[in-house]
Amino acid sequence: MKPIITAFDWVPPFAQGQVRDLRVRWALEEVEQPYDVVYLAQGEQKHAAHRDRQPFGQVPTYQHGDLALFESGAIVMHIAEVHGGLLPVDRAGRARAIEWMFAALNTIEPPITDLAIAGIFEADKPWSKPRIPAIRARIGERLRELSDRLGAQAWLDGNIFTAGDLLMAAVLRSVAGDGLIEEHDNLAAYVQRAEARPAFRRALDAQMAGFTGKAPPTFAAWLEKQQQQQEQTA
């Protein structure tokens, strides 16, 4: 039985390649775990059927047998723990990789999310534009600190790519091309190395295929099929 994840069948162009199911796809590709995708049309994520999986009405979700998970960070960590390749085998290295997973999601990502809210989702609000310089300054500070720590290393803990790098690169690439990452040559190169990984390319291609009409049926069609199968076995 393959894991099943949920994703959108369409998002606006600015969000394509950034929706967080990409992180889960990437992790699954890194560990060479095949998976299936259930696609949601816009609005279906708020329906009761999906909220049974994700109480906040978001994607992605992950289901494998009786285990159902939400939150991309938790899903990536589960994948890394179950499969070899994304967490070092030694206890100290594993702890440091997890540390960087939390740093990506708790320290680096929040001000980047604030920038997206102010600059895109609430751009029409009177308070948004005045907030942007301060938000960019906070992001800049965090990126300078991250750049200093990364130094000349290939990855955050040396020469080994871990789940910490996967989440950190996924977060950083959301502002790549905006001038913030490009202020630090080592961070720009770090993101480029991550994006050059074959597993990332496969994950990105798979997500983009879902926005071009080449994806499997939507969540509604999948749910109807599941109900039909249950009726046949009842």
Quick one: CA dihedral 83, 95, 56, 118, positive or negative? negative
Whether residue 221 has pLDDT greater than 60: no
What was the pLDDT predicted at 1?
85
Q: Candidates 3.90.730.10, 1.20.1050.10, 3.30.70.2190, 2.60.40.10; correct CATH number of 91-196? A: 1.20.1050.10
Mean model confidence pLDDT for the chain = 93
Residue pLDDT, tens place only, 150-184: 999 999 999 999 999 999 999 999 999 999 999 99
* pTM greater than 0.95 (yes/no): no
Whether residue 220 has pLDDT greater than 60: no
Question: Can you give the residue ranges of every domain in the chain?
Answer: 4-84+199-233, 91-196
Q: Candidates 3.40.30.10, 3.30.70.2740, 3.30.360.10, 3.10.180.10; correct CATH number of 4-84+199-233? A: 3.40.30.10
Whether residue 228 has pLDDT greater than 90: no
Q: Summarize the confidence of residues 131-156 as an average pLDDT.
A: 98
- Whole-angstrom distance, CA of residue 175 vs CA of residue 69: 27
- Contact status, residue 146 vs residue 112, Cβ threshold 8 Å: no
